[in-house]
């Protein structure tokens, strides 16, 4: 758009972007996701998610693949991981390597289904739809053929 120097035009916008942090864990055996949404990514909320994962699999030996987000490395998180080291093994990914993290593929898959506000243009609708998609996605990376990511059904149409 053209404008005269010193006379900026105001352009109406839909509003400000707001973030929602999604913590996620993938059960490779079942191909199911466990997610938790939070208003922001921080150590306290990540600890809450770790507790949820530990309670969901109370007797299993778990392997957590964790990237280098700053809240993954807080003293409280490291202490919790050390306290549960008998049951939980942590594999730390190298910095700047999202291609090694399978959950990033799932996140991209779900995000591609949410683009364009086709399921609602307000935050509660999008959060509801994202929760539905995360609940419904099947992630079978051990499958011999594509697609590795599928949806059992798409609940977003009713959101």
pLDDT tens string, the chain, 159 residues long: the values are 677 788 777 766 555 666 788 999 988 888 888 999 998 899 999 999 999 999 999 999 999 999 989 999 999 999 999 999 999 999 999 988 888 888 888 888 888 877 765 666 677 877 888 888 888 888 888 777 777 877 776 556 543
Q: What does the alpha-carbon distance between residue 125 and residue 100 come to, in Å, rounded to a whole number?
A: 31
CA dihedral 60, 144, 108, 129 (to 10 degrees): -70
Task: Quote the strand ranges of 4-103, DSSP E.
Answer: 21-27, 32-38, 62-66, 88-92
pLDDT at 158: 46
CA dihedral 129, 131, 133, 135 (to 10 degrees): -150
Please name every residue paired with 66 in a beta bridge, in sequence order, or none if there are none. Answer: 92
pTM of the shown model: 0.78
**Are residues 130 and 114 in contact, defined by beta-carbon separation less than 8 angstroms?**
yes
pLDDT at 132: 86
Architecture per CATH, 21-158: 2-Layer Sandwich (3.30)
């Amino acid at each position: 758009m053209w404008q005269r120097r010193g006379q900026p035009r105001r352009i109406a916008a839909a509003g400000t972007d707001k973030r929602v942090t999604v913590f996620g864990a993938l059960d490779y055996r079942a191909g199911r996701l466990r997610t938790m949404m939070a208003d922001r990514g921080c150590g306290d909320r990540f600890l809450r998610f770790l507790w949820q994962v530990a309670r969901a699999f109370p007797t299993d030996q778990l392997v957590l693949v964790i990237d280098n987000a700053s809240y993954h490395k807080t003293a409280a998180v490291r202490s919790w991981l050390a306290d549960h080291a008998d049951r939980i093994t942590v594999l730390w990914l190298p910095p700047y390597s999202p291609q090694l993290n399978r959950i990033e593929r799932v996140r991209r898959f779900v995000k591609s289904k949410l683009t364009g506000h086709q399921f609602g243009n307000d935050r509660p609708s999008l959060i509801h739809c994202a929760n539905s998609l995360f609940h419904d996605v099947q992630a079978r990376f051990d499958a011999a053929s594509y697609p590795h990511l599928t949806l059992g059904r798409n609940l977003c149409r009713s959101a």
